[in-house]
Structure 1
Amino acid sequence: MKAPRSKATWIRWAGTLLTLLLLGYLAAQQDWDTLRASFRQIEVWRWLAALGLTLLSRLAVALRWHVLLASAQPRLRLSQSMRLTFAGLFAANFLPTTIGGDVVRLAGAVQLRMDAALSTASLVADRLIGMAGMTLALPWGLARALDAGMPVLQSAFLSLPGLFQKIRAFAQNLLEHFRFWARKPAPLLISLGFTLVHMACLFSSIAILLEGQGQSIPWLTIAGIWSLVYFITLLPVSINGLGLQEVSSTLLYAHLGGISMEASLTLAVLLRALQMLASLPGALFVPDILAAREGKTQ
């Protein structure tokens, strides 16, 4: 007998449907000839360059987690953590269910007979390091919101000193709970370095796609706006950020970046497509991981 869906799950499904409908509404309001022109004017080399940068950013994300996990469990091979990371990315992009990417990664780590507690801790630390990296770009995004007169984001900007204090307190609490990495901070710093590589690739791919549409935004502005998109997609109102990422990036790049709505919408769709393409290698590994996970829960 299947367990009833939780209230949070229903909220996420409803939020996903709502944001997808809103995305469809935004698309319907645009000039379709202009949208098609936006797609067509992007040269092939820009598509390939953006895809290459997206793949490189995925590799950086995989290395970020590998450094943390391998420092605690030295017998882990790089090929194993790569396989688990891409399986998680594929699950997050193609399996919009309650089985998220981190669940797949954890299930795969347990199958490899890794310590479950340390594997869980490494996933939490991996997420927090990714969040810390995006926080570094956040001031530029909030500054743009302040200039644009967006009240909600203005209040976030004004509370930035308090935000950093909370992040610092949370980081100290994290180190207390993850004593292993507190004693060996090098893996944390290396992982943060891979996060910065991931971010640089992501922001550069956005710049390439925008310039291909005849739009130009300073690189730091691109970074700051995407950091806002990132934190918005952390809200638990959508399955894996589906729809929420596209709507927020469309609106924020149009209103804060000063580009056309058509170009912003094109960018949002292309970024999702690139993320899905870059996660396709994970399709080779997800079935075995999920099958083993289901076998243990039966």
Structure 2
Amino acid sequence: MKFGIPPRLGTLAKLLVSVGLIVFLLTRLNPAELLARLVNTQPQWLILALALYFLAIFLGVLKWYALVRVQTIGVSLGELATFTFTSLFAGNVLPTNIGGDIVRAVMLARADRGTSEAAAISVFVDRLMGLVAFFGVALLSTVIALSLWTRSAELEALEASVLAVAAVVAVGGALFFSRRAARQMAVVFEWGPLARFKPRALRLYHAIQVYRSNYGALAANVALSASILVVATFVWYAVARALGLHISLLYFFLFNPLIAFVLLLPISFNGLGPKEAATIFFFGLVGVPSESAFAMSVLFHMIIVLTSLPGGALWWRQRTHSADWASALAPERGGQENEDRAN
């Protein structure tokens, strides 16, 4: 007997959360003012925002490449770009339970057969180092926000949440790379039913240990992750200028990580709803009208979707050449949870 939430039900629940939040927010906004903001959008700033987001994606490919290269996996930078765009399409556009990181790992493993463990570890470490950079910036943003504005229950709860999750990431990362922890866990695979997984566990262990002697690759990944956060902040700024808003760039550097932190909760469809609510809350602290903040969030999401579309063409090409890959990306199959992305 299988337990857990059925994939279709989970996706439906996320859609309901997103639709419910969007409808609730719209009932509290002035439709005429919101429409006026969107109609008068300046296209040159949106084009700049698109270009900047593509730059952020390319930086993401580079930071992953830094980790893949030390695993001696035989793929090129161009192939990793293909995997990345396809994963973005799967994660941001398709109504599927297959997360973008899973797509990246599967495509990388299939490109160089026999390296599935190394492929999976490269994706996991890429995500882990990204979280290290993200929480470093988020903690700084939270401290500055609390020092600039009157303390409120919402900001204090956010501070506590950021600290708690950052601590979990730090401890989890330390255990992940710890040889001592690995040795203690190894005894599990001496037990009969799990003994057959021991060879794979050993390959995973060796793939992890590769990074213990390649701190340069980890440092490069963290630095590039921080760069992506900076570029994403400028995307937000360009979107605001497209709407004719003149908001200090400082506030975007403060609020971008905090909005992204809220989206770590996998309770909605691609962040729709919570992202708009968080944008209204944080920019409301500096006097930005709710209609303007909502419009910013909607346009930012449009940028995310548009930059994901090239992955759709790549996915379709791959789909026509591989029937099993098509089934791997079929909506609602596999029952694996979609994992969300902070900038």
Q: TM-score, normalised by structure 1?
A: 0.87
Cα displacement (A) at 1:268: 0.7
**Residues 141 and 221 in structure 1, CA contact (< 8 A), matched pair in contact too:** no
Give the letter aligned to residue 312 of structure 2: A
**Closer, same or farther in 2 for the Cα pair 1:5/1:270, shift >3 Å?**
farther
Alignment of 1:122-271 (within 5 A): 122-138=122-138, 139-141=140-142, 143-144=144-145, 147-157=149-159, 165-176=167-178, 178-254=208-284, 256-271=285-300
Q: Following TM superposition, by how much is the alpha carbon of 1:95 offset from its aligned partner in structure 2, in angstroms? A: 0.7
- Residue identity matched to 1:135: F
Q: Which has the higher helix share?
A: 1
State how far apart, in whole Å, the 1-side matches of 2:56 and 2:6 are: 31
In 2, Cα distance between equivalents of 1:276 and 1:5: 33
What's the offset of the Cα at 1:76? 1.3
Q: Which AA in structure 2 matches 1:200?
A: V
Q: Could you say which residue in structure 1 is the equivalent of 2:303?
A: 274
The whole-number CA distance in structure 1 between the counterparts of 2:221 and 2:310 is 22
Instruction: Give 1:52 deviation, angstroms.
Output: 0.7
Judged with a 3 Å threshold, the aligned counterparts in structure 2 of structure 1 residues 286 and 242 are, in CA distance, closer, same or farther, namely: farther
Report the Cα distance in structure 2 between the residues aligned to 1:5 and 1:122, rounded to whole angstroms.
30
**Partner residue, 2:189:** none
Q: What is the deviation of 1:202?
A: 0.9
- Aligned partners of 1:98 and 1:239 also within 8 Å: no
Assess, with a 3 A threshold, how the Cα gap between structure 1 residues 156 and 31 changes in structure 2: closer, same or farther: closer
How far apart are 1:166 and its partner, in Å? 4.4
Query: Mean Cα displacement is larger for which, 4-13 or 100-109?
Result: 4-13
Provide closer, same or farther for how the CA distance between residues 40 and 294 of structure 1 changes in structure 2, counting only shifts above 3 A: closer
* Structure 2: distance between partners of 1:163 and 1:223: 20
1:120 matches 2:132: no
1:83 aligns to what?
82
CA 1:285 to 1:263, structure 2 compared with 1: closer, same or farther past 3 Å?
same
In 1, Cα distance between equivalents of 2:176 and 2:216: 15
Deviation of 1:167 after TM superposition, in Å, equals: 4.0
- Deviation of 1:265 (Å): 0.4
- 60-69 vs 221-230, which deviates more? 221-230
Secondary structure, counterpart of 1:7 in structure 2: coil
116-125 vs 205-214, which moves further = 205-214
Note the C-alpha offset of 1:5: 8.7
Which stretch has the larger CA shift, 244-253 or 268-277?
244-253
Shift of 1:124: 1.1
Equivalent residue letter for 1:96: P
Greater Rg by CA: 2
The 3 A distance-change label for structure 1 pair 239 and 208 is closer
CA distance, structure 1, for counterparts of residue 3 and residue 26 of structure 2:
32
Alignment partners' CA distance in 2, 1:5 and 1:65 = 34
Q: What is the deviation of 1:54?
A: 0.9
Confirm or deny: 8 A CA contact 1:97 1:239 kept in the other structure. Answer: no
How far the C-alpha of 1:214 sits from its partner, in A, is 4.2
Identity of aligned residues (%): 21
Q: CA RMSD in A?
A: 2.8
Of 65-74 and 91-100, more deviation after overlay is shown by 65-74
Q: What do the CA deviations read for 1:132-173 (whole angstroms, capped 9, x no partner)? A: 222122132454257243314314426766665544333322
Inter-partner Cα distance in structure 1 for 2:313 and 2:286: 38
Partner of 1:30: 29
Task: Say if 1:137 and 1:223, in contact at 8 Å, map to a contact too.
Answer: no
Equivalent-residue separation in structure 2 for 1:161 and 1:83 (angstroms): 35
Matched AA of 1:206: W
Q: CA deviation at 1:87?
A: 0.2
1:204 Cα offset (Å): 0.7
- Give the length in aligned residue pairs: 295
Q: Is the 8 A contact 2:44 2:242 kept in 1?
A: no
Deviation at 1:51, TM superposition (A): 0.9
Indicate yes or no: 2:9 matched with 1:7. no
The match for 2:181 is none
Aligned to 1:105, the other structure's residue is in SS state helix
What's the TM-score once normalised by structure 2's chain length?
0.76
Shift of residue 77 of structure 1? Answer: 0.5
Partners of 2:282 and 2:235 in 1: CA distance: 17
Structure 1 equivalent of residue 185 of structure 2: none
Distance 1:68 1:96 in 2: 29
- How big is the shift at 1:262? 0.8
**Structure 2: gaps spanning 5 or more residues:** 179-204, 335-343
